Amino acid sequence: MDYKFSHIGIPTTEEKEWDGFYEAGKIHYTEFDKDTYGIEWVKFDADSPMPELMQKLPHVAYYVDDMEEALEGKELLVPTFSPGEGVRVAFIKHNGAPVEFMEIKQ
Protein backbone atom coordinates (compact mmCIF):
# COMPACT_ATOMS: atom_id res chain seq x y z
CA MET A 1 0.00 0.00 0.00
CA ASP A 2 1.32 3.40 -1.00
CA TYR A 3 0.35 6.28 1.30
CA LYS A 4 0.84 9.78 -0.10
CA PHE A 5 0.60 12.66 2.39
CA SER A 6 -2.38 14.94 1.77
CA HIS A 7 -2.88 17.28 4.74
CA ILE A 8 -3.23 17.74 8.47
CA GLY A 9 -6.64 18.57 9.93
CA ILE A 10 -6.79 20.64 13.09
CA PRO A 11 -9.98 20.95 15.14
CA THR A 12 -10.85 24.42 16.36
CA THR A 13 -13.67 26.18 18.18
CA GLU A 14 -12.75 29.52 16.58
CA GLU A 15 -14.60 30.99 13.64
CA LYS A 16 -12.71 30.99 10.32
CA GLU A 17 -13.55 31.87 6.75
CA TRP A 18 -15.05 28.44 6.06
CA ASP A 19 -14.82 27.02 2.56
CA GLY A 20 -17.55 24.47 3.12
CA PHE A 21 -19.87 22.57 5.41
CA TYR A 22 -20.32 18.80 5.41
CA GLU A 23 -23.96 18.46 6.48
CA ALA A 24 -23.95 14.75 7.41
CA GLY A 25 -21.04 15.21 9.83
CA LYS A 26 -21.95 18.76 10.88
CA ILE A 27 -18.40 19.87 10.06
CA HIS A 28 -17.23 23.28 8.87
CA TYR A 29 -13.90 23.13 7.05
CA THR A 30 -11.28 25.12 5.18
CA GLU A 31 -9.73 23.81 1.95
CA PHE A 32 -6.31 22.34 2.77
CA ASP A 33 -5.16 22.72 -0.83
CA LYS A 34 -5.52 26.50 -0.52
CA ASP A 35 -3.21 26.58 2.51
CA THR A 36 0.54 27.00 2.03
CA TYR A 37 1.28 24.23 4.55
CA GLY A 38 -1.63 21.88 3.83
CA ILE A 39 -3.63 22.69 6.95
CA GLU A 40 -7.35 22.00 7.06
CA TRP A 41 -9.20 23.69 9.91
CA VAL A 42 -12.31 21.86 11.09
CA LYS A 43 -15.06 22.99 13.45
CA PHE A 44 -17.75 20.60 14.62
CA ASP A 45 -21.28 21.70 15.46
CA ALA A 46 -22.44 20.81 18.97
CA ASP A 47 -24.68 18.07 17.53
CA SER A 48 -22.02 16.56 15.24
CA PRO A 49 -22.24 12.76 15.10
CA MET A 50 -18.47 12.47 14.53
CA PRO A 51 -16.40 10.63 17.17
CA GLU A 52 -14.99 12.70 20.02
CA LEU A 53 -11.47 11.61 19.06
CA MET A 54 -11.85 13.43 15.73
CA GLN A 55 -13.32 16.47 17.37
CA LYS A 56 -10.50 16.80 19.90
CA LEU A 57 -7.31 15.63 18.15
CA PRO A 58 -5.67 16.68 14.89
CA HIS A 59 -5.66 14.11 12.11
CA VAL A 60 -3.18 13.39 9.37
CA ALA A 61 -4.54 12.47 5.93
CA TYR A 62 -3.16 10.33 3.14
CA TYR A 63 -4.21 9.66 -0.44
CA VAL A 64 -4.70 5.95 -1.13
CA ASP A 65 -5.33 4.15 -4.42
CA ASP A 66 -7.58 1.45 -2.96
CA MET A 67 -9.74 2.29 0.06
CA GLU A 68 -10.66 -1.32 0.84
CA GLU A 69 -7.01 -2.40 0.83
CA ALA A 70 -6.02 0.60 2.99
CA LEU A 71 -8.69 -0.25 5.59
CA GLU A 72 -7.93 -3.96 5.75
CA GLY A 73 -7.04 -4.96 9.31
CA LYS A 74 -7.32 -1.39 10.63
CA GLU A 75 -9.45 -0.12 13.53
CA LEU A 76 -12.23 1.84 11.83
CA LEU A 77 -13.16 5.16 13.41
CA VAL A 78 -15.51 6.50 10.69
CA PRO A 79 -16.74 4.21 7.88
CA THR A 80 -16.18 5.16 4.25
CA PHE A 81 -18.31 8.08 3.03
CA SER A 82 -18.31 10.42 0.06
CA PRO A 83 -18.04 14.15 0.87
CA GLY A 84 -18.08 15.00 -2.84
CA GLU A 85 -18.22 13.51 -6.32
CA GLY A 86 -15.34 11.14 -7.01
CA VAL A 87 -14.04 11.31 -3.43
CA ARG A 88 -14.21 8.61 -0.76
CA VAL A 89 -12.98 9.18 2.78
CA ALA A 90 -12.61 7.00 5.87
CA PHE A 91 -10.96 7.45 9.25
CA ILE A 92 -9.07 4.88 11.27
CA LYS A 93 -7.72 4.94 14.80
CA HIS A 94 -3.94 4.49 14.81
CA ASN A 95 -2.05 4.47 18.12
CA GLY A 96 -4.84 6.53 19.69
CA ALA A 97 -4.99 9.16 16.96
CA PRO A 98 -7.32 9.66 13.97
CA VAL A 99 -5.88 9.06 10.50
CA GLU A 100 -7.79 9.90 7.32
CA PHE A 101 -7.59 7.98 4.06
CA MET A 102 -8.77 9.69 0.85
CA GLU A 103 -9.43 7.91 -2.42
CA ILE A 104 -9.89 10.15 -5.47
CA LYS A 105 -11.41 8.75 -8.66
CA GLN A 106 -11.40 10.97 -11.75
User: How confident is the model over 48-105, as pLDDT tens digits?
Assistant: 999 999 999 999 999 999 999 999 999 999 999 998 899 999 999 999 999 999 999 9
Domains of the chain, residue spans? 4-104
- Residue 14 burial class via C-beta count within 10 angstroms: exposed 0-12, middle 13-18, buried 19 and up: exposed
Q: What is the model's pLDDT at position 59?
A: 98
Q: What is the model's pLDDT at position 1?
A: 86
Residue 35's pLDDT band, with cuts at 50, 70 and 90, is very high
CATH 1.10.3720.10 fits 4-104, yes or no: no
Whole-model pTM: value is: 0.93
CA distance 73 to 92: 10
Q: What is the model's pLDDT at position 84?
A: 84
Q: What is the model's pLDDT at position 106?
A: 74
